[in-house]
Amino acid sequence: MPNVLDLQNVSVIRDGNQILTDVNWTVDGDQRWVVLGPNGAGKTTLLQIAAAMNHPSGGTVHVLDGKLGEVDLFELRPRVGFASSAMARRFPGNETVLNVVLTAAYSVTGRWNEAYEDIDLRRAQRVLGEWKLDHLSERLFGSLSDGEQKRVQIARSVMTDPELLLLDEPAASLDLGAREELLQLLGGYASAPEAPAIVMVTHHVEEIPRGFTHALLLNQGGIVASGPIGEVLTSENLETTFGLPITLNEEDGRYTARAS
Ligand SMILES: Nc1ncnc2c1ncn2[C@@H]1O[C@H](COP(=O)(O)OP(=O)(O)OP(=O)(O)O)[C@@H](O)[C@H]1O
């Protein structure tokens, strides 16, 4: 499997603040990564670099087969699915769910004069069905619950069949039922053989879906540990990452953690 992401000695400095320091990280096409770390660790900054939405201050970044700084971003971006709350705030609240998903075909957030083809419409309808949203396709995005909106964000991000899928805290602010429903769908998606490489940022080990294979732990802009999830997700590594003693439990592919 070729790399879909390759970061070498990446650093990010913004307004004089060192946000990422000497990050070395590769993601292969058959891997599903979770990125964990405390508030301010640099997780979103890392994801934005992977999405080619942000450039590093130092080091080199390859996303799919292109080197940031050289690659044509308009060609690259449709190949990378990205979902975050910040992006969801750009969807017009009075746009239908179908249009929020459909407009991913043109990488725009609201429907205007784009000419969509039947294949785009069929794909949007298929994706809505896969994420259990077909009954909501004509509802206005702004009228949905948080849980439904999160599913729409993900449905939109997979609409173009991306080769790399980046999810920034997809389960944040969901109630227990909505979180579990989302994690079940994400776990099913991540476990399918044809799934793209996935990188998901979260604060909580409870939000790691089944089927995720690798973990990267980040603290103060530096990598604490990265690699296969079974080796990296340990109480010791979480203690170093979050700065307090933690007891980690794993059962049937799901994790729980508490201060010990
Ligand atoms: N443009 C900027 N200028 C200065 N500092 C910034 C800028 N963008 C981010 N930062 C700082 O960089 C640090 C990392 O931010 P980032 O959003 O990547 O962290 P995070 O791990 O995603 O945090 P959270 O879990 O709270 O969302 C934070 O301290 C943030 O204040």
Residue 116 CA: distances (Å) to CA of 92, 105, 133: 19, 8, 20
3-state secondary structure the chain: CCEEEEEEEEEEEECCEEEEEEEEEEEECCCEEEEECCCCCCHHHHHHHHCCCCCCCEEEEEECCEECCCCCHHHHHHHEEEECHHHHCCCCCCCEHHHHHHHHHHCCCCCCCCCCCHHHHHHHHHHHHHCCCHHHCCCEHHHCCHHHHHHHHHHHHHCCCCCEEEEECCCCCCCHHHHHHHHHHHHHHHHCCCCCEEEEEECCHHHCCCCCCEEEEEECCEEEEEEEHHHHCCHHHHHHHHCCCEEEEEECCEEEEEEC
Q: How many angstroms is it from 40 CA to the middle of ligand 1?
A: 5
Q: What is the pTM of this model?
A: 0.93
Residue 2 has pLDDT above 70, yes or no: no
Ligand 1 atom index nearest CA of 47: 18
pLDDT digits (tens, 9 = 90+) for 155-175: 999 998 999 999 999 999 888
Question: Ligand 1: distance of its center to the CA of 163 in Å?
Answer: 26
Q: Which residues contact 129 (CB under 8 A, 6 or more apart)?
A: none
pLDDT for 85 equals 86
Tell me which residue has its CA closest to atom 3 in ligand 1. 14
Report pLDDT for 1. Answer: 56
Atom of ligand 1 nearest to the CA of 218: 21
Mutate to test the pocket of ligand 1, among 10, 45, 166 (most ligand atoms within 8 A of CB): 45
What is the number of the ligand 1 atom nearest to the C-alpha of 45? 18
Which protein residues touch ligand 1 with a CB less than 6 Å away? 14-15, 17, 19, 37, 39-45, 203
| Ligand 1 midpoint to CA 55 (Å) | 14
Query: Which residue minimizes the CA distance to atom 17 of ligand 1?
Result: 44
Q: From ligand 1's centre to the CA of 194, what distance in Å?
A: 33
| Average pLDDT, integer, range 31-60 | 95
Q: How confident is the model at residue 77, as a pLDDT?
A: 85
